[in-house]
Structure 1
Amino acid sequence: MSKVGTPKGTRDFSPSQMVKRNYLFNTIKKSFTQYGFMPLETPSMENLSVLTGKYGEEGDRLLFKILNSGDYLKKANDEDLKAKDSKKLIKQISEKGLKYDLTVPFARFVAQNHGQLAMPFKRFQIQPVWRADRPQKGRYREFFQCDADSVGSDSLLCEVELVQIYDDVFKNLNIEGVQIEINNRKILAGIAEVLGASDKLVDMTVAIDKLDKIGKEKVLEELKERGFEQDKLEKISPLFELTGSNSEKLNSMKEFLKDSETGLLGISELETIFKYTDKLGVETLNFDVTLARGLDYYTGAIYEVKLLDGSMGSIGAGGRYDNLTGVFGLKGVSGVGISFGADRIFDVMEARDLFPKNLENFLDVLFINFGDESQDKSLEQLLKIRKANLRAEIFPEPVKMKKQMKYANAKGSRFVIMIGEDELKEDMLALKNMETGDQEKVSIERAIEIISK
């Protein structure tokens, strides 16, 4: 047994897995294009100056850094080396990092190319990202994100459209029990304002964002450690257990935020979104005031997609960001986007057996190789089969029939064609249906007609 393997948190994907992954990506891509989003790709690596400071302290810690080419210690300070000061050293030995998500590189792209882009600019990306996280169930160090973002418009119709895409995709994938959680960063800012802790907004959101992982009591403990006094904890505690319909929960928050103009603006924005999504028949959207999303760049509506049975963590997330392109020199361009956690969605579909059964049919037809004249005739007919847009191949060697049929089964070939002595004389083919076992002698034209069905 070989001891070689992939790095922790990464995986190989076999052909049978890849056809399922492509099915998943194509389903998501179809919805993106139906809503007018255009494809885009950005490099796997970005300058660290682009990536750092955009994801909060935890995000910066999880960035994979790339050592400078050549003698990367050449510019390293000897004192910093002796002191093992990694924070100072990293700036001296690394200028680039693997991208943490697709949103920040997208914002960089928009800032670089805004003069050539028609606004609002709607793009989608399906690419891998990397995080130096601890690998566990549903959490990988290399994984794919499927993002759709719209920049250049403040309209809440953009948020509504993204909710519709989420709803469409999960319905098309037949994944039941999905809930799209929504909140607004203005509401969270309003809560901090009401608590008299506006200067601790980031501390509050970082702690609240861990609610699902560590529970209410641990969150309150962390808030206390971050400087929230007991009276503030008592005031915020009931919000962790808000119940009722979306409108009832929003009304409760209106009362809590009655003295916060910012918080009430967040409530108003969510009410507008719900007004449209209710009309459009979206039943999976749920207001959750404890949804925080630990990324610093969000400024408005924020999303997170969960499974009601709790069998997997978040399978989608996103939100509104008004200032992200500003850090790259492009002011006044608002954006909003969502991301699908493709690897987690894949795992959910595998566990629930939701992939179509015929995906692993890699071949429409395999020609059995009998050698000599049969082989020559098979190559001639193979050309006609492929011109009919069918997937076909010939076994490369005239070995025993059993081995060739075993290969046909392994490739999931729907049909097998045999050209023996009799078929050569009659200019016919023996066509075998691998599912039913039925076999008949037909012309090449009839074979193409049958296989194409």
Structure 2
Amino acid sequence: MKSDNSPPRGTRDLLPAAVADRDHVLAAITEVYRHHGYHRIETPALEDIGRLTGGQGGENEKLIYRVLRRGLTEPLAEGVGLADLVDLGLRYDLTVPLTRFYGAHHAQLPLPFRSFQFGPVWRAERPQKGRYRQFYQCDIDIIGEESVLAEIELIEATVAALDAIGLTGTTVRISDRRLLAAVAEHVGLPEQAWDGFFITLDKLDKIGWDGVSAELVESRGLAAEAVTMVRTQIERLRSVAIDDVVDTLADALPSLDEQVLTDLGSTIAGLAPLAESSGSTWEFDPTLVRGMGYYTGQVFEIVHPDSSSSVAGGGRYDRLIGRSLGREVPACGFSIGFERIVDLLGGTRRGEQVAVLYETDVPAAEVLAVARELRSAGRPAAPVRRRGKFGAQLDRLTDWGFTSFVHLGTRRDSAAPWAERPLGER
């Protein structure tokens, strides 16, 4: 019987042309982040299960791939539970591993520490278009900066990265978890219900107000009157122009901490020059929550009209690192949805690649001499033997990610000049 060579459900293989596109996008993003002073680090795919299930990952903690302990024997003893079988899990994001990393290495790192990570993460999602069980995240974080300078710099660097890869027409949405807590308190929601309120409100884009209201009442046990007041309050704030946010919030929520207003005002003022020079627009969105439980202050997302989900998101998480270090350290991060932006760009951003196309009787030394000359000039080049119909082979080269070619023909004078031609030219 023929074997099934498909990758596991919810994962995918990437062909060379697709990888070339991804490498080109990553290289552009990396250059922008390096220019903004971020240092690339790497963390393991596996983390301690206790760290991953610490109650700060929101709904993602339900999607962890758990790893069995070594040395288990069969059959298992009676009464053995899941906690006895599992000690590790695959990371579901890059932020939780970063906090452990900083706890272990902070004495060797600059302050503030500007971190850049790129790597795969795993979530046991229900596979669907654009949503995979293994996917890549691209994160920048600033650790040790307590002011909103961190928020401003993170947003500025991320917008610059998206501009560099040609993703235009984006909108930056800004809010604050402390604002949502004030709204909840204002309408009389008990503090122990706030986390559930945040998690449900984060689903607003997917299930609408009716769905959110039903879940808050039926699943979270909140009073229908309180939920109606929340909806009214948030909808009233949702249409506020970004330049009027501070004054409107001060009037609508008199008990709101003055620091929240000061921080929002500083972020908006700090981003004003960027708003004028970039291809992005800006808006205040009080419905913005971010699903992770570790956010403590401002949160932000970047959306694009051609994507049903955000293409980047992040926020401040001042209390998370304290779990690893034993003392509070301010921290803020922004994550680009790498898979989504690659899909949005449509595979048009790959780098140059030259095929040195040679006939079978051209000496290997001559083929390699041409390839070396191209490489010394900074052009990626690879020899490819001539096979089949010429036009069909050129089409295959295009599919494989080559952008131009040199044809070394039969009985060619090795001293004669050769010409590079774009693929598609006949």
* TM-score normalised by L of structure 1: 0.84
Identical columns (%): 30
The Cα shift of 1:324 comes to 0.7
The one-letter amino acid of 2:53's match is T
Q: Do the aligned partners of 1:45 and 1:98 also contact (CA within 8 Å) in 2?
A: yes
Residue among 400, 405, 416 paired with 2:406: 416
Letter in 2 for 1:67: L
User: In structure 2, the residue corresponding to 1:163 is in which secondary structure?
Assistant: helix
The structural deviation recorded for 1:163 is: 1.3
Query: What is the distance in 2 between the residues matched to 1:255 and 1:271?
Result: 15
CA contact (8 A) 1:414 1:435 kept: yes
Taking a change above 3 Å as real, the CA distance of residues 366 and 200 of structure 1, as seen in their structure-2 partners, is same
Residue of structure 2 in register with 1:232 after alignment: 226
Residue from 134, 140, 144 that aligns with 2:136: 144
Determine whether 1:327 maps to 2:320.
no
RMSD of the TM alignment (CA)?
2.7
2:102 is matched with which residue? 110
Q: Which residue of 2 aligns with 1:251?
A: 247
Bigger radius of gyration among the two: 1
Answering whether residue 357 of structure 2 is matched by residue 369 of structure 1, we say no
Opposite residue 405 of structure 2, the aligned amino acid is: F
- Counterpart selection for 2:333 from 323, 334, 337: 337
- Could you tell me how far apart the structure 2 residues matched to 1:385 and 1:31 are? 27
Work out which of the residue numbers 189, 205, 209 in structure 1 matches 2:181: 189
Shift of 1:160: 0.5
Q: Which residue of 1 aligns with 2:64?
A: 63
Amino acid across the alignment from 1:433:
R
Relative distance call for 1:54 and 1:147 in structure 2 (3 A) is: farther
**Displacement of 1:94 after TM fit?**
1.2
Q: Which range is displaced more, 162-171 or 100-109?
A: 162-171
Q: In the superposition, relative to structure 1, how do residues 3 and 222 fare at CA in structure 2: closer, same or farther (>3 Å)?
A: same
| Mean CA deviation greater in 159-168 or 148-157 | 159-168
Matched, 1:292 2:289: yes
Per-residue Cα deviation, 1:115-158 (whole angstroms, up to 9, x for no partner):
11111011100111111111223221111110000001101111
Structure 2 gap segments, 5+ residues each? none
SS in 2 for 1:281: helix
Distance 1:417 1:208, change over 3 A: same
Q: Which residue of 2 aligns with 1:176?
A: 168
Is the CA contact 1:382–1:392 (under 8 Å) kept in the aligned structure 2?
yes
Deviation string 1:376-400 (CA, Å, 9 cap, x unpaired) is: 443455444444443334445x867
1:56–1:42 CA distance, 2 compared to 1 (3 A): closer
Partner AA of 1:205 in structure 2? F
List per-residue Cα deviations over 1:388-424 (Å, max 9, x = no partner): 443334445x867849955656553623242644615
* 8 Å CA contact retained: 1:312, 1:344: no
Task: Return the alpha-carbon distance in structure 2 between the equivalents of residues 207 and 237 of structure 1.
Answer: 13
**2:124 maps to which residue?**
132
The CA deviation at 1:253 is: 2.7
Change (3 A) 1:198 1:38: same
**CA offset digits 1:78-103 (Å, max 9, x no partner):** 124xxxxxxxx221111111001000
Given residue 234 of structure 1, which amino acid in structure 2 is its aligned partner?
T
For 1:385 and 1:360, locate their aligned partners in 2 and report how far apart those are by CA, in whole Å.
15
Amino acid at match of 1:106: L
What is the rounded CA distance, in whole Å, between the counterparts of 1:315 and 1:106 in structure 2?
21
In structure 2, the CA distance between the partners of 1:409 and 1:194, relative to structure 1 (3 Å rule), is: closer
Corresponding residue for residue 164 of structure 1: 156
C-alpha contact (below 8 Å) 1:54/1:104 kept by paired residues: no
Q: 1:434 to 1:240 in 2, by over 3 A?
A: same
In 1, distance between residues paired with 2:403 and 2:344?
27
Q: Is the contact made by 1:209 and 1:291 (CA closer than 8 Å) also made in structure 2?
A: yes
Quick check: 2:315–2:333 contact (8 Å CA) kept in 1? yes
Q: SS where residue 251 of structure 1 aligns?
A: helix
Q: What is the 5 A alignment of 1:271-420?
A: 271-281=265-275, 284-307=281-304, 309=305, 311-350=307-346, 355-356=348-349, 359=350, 361-370=352-361, 374-395=363-384, 402=390, 406=394, 411=400, 412=402, 414-418=404-408, 420=410
Q: CA 1:222–1:249 in structure 2 vs 1: closer, same or farther (change >3 Å)?
A: farther
* 33-42 vs 44-53, greater mean Cα deviation: 44-53
Aligned counterpart for 1:213 among listed residues 192, 206, 210: 206
The reply on whether 1:78 has 2:78 as its aligned counterpart is yes
Higher relative contact order (CA 8 A, sep 6+): 2
Moved more, 404-413 or 110-119: 404-413
Structure 1: stretches of 5+ with no match in the other structure: 81-88, 439-453
**Secondary structure at the residue paired with 1:322?**
coil
- 1:433 equivalent to 2:425? Answer no
Q: Indicate how the Cα distance of structure 1 residues 69 and 163 shifts in structure 2: closer, same or farther if over 3 A, else same.
A: same
Matched residue of 1:78: which SS? Answer: coil
Bigger mean CA deviation after superposition, 226-235 or 9-18: 226-235
Letter aligned with residue 236 of structure 1: V
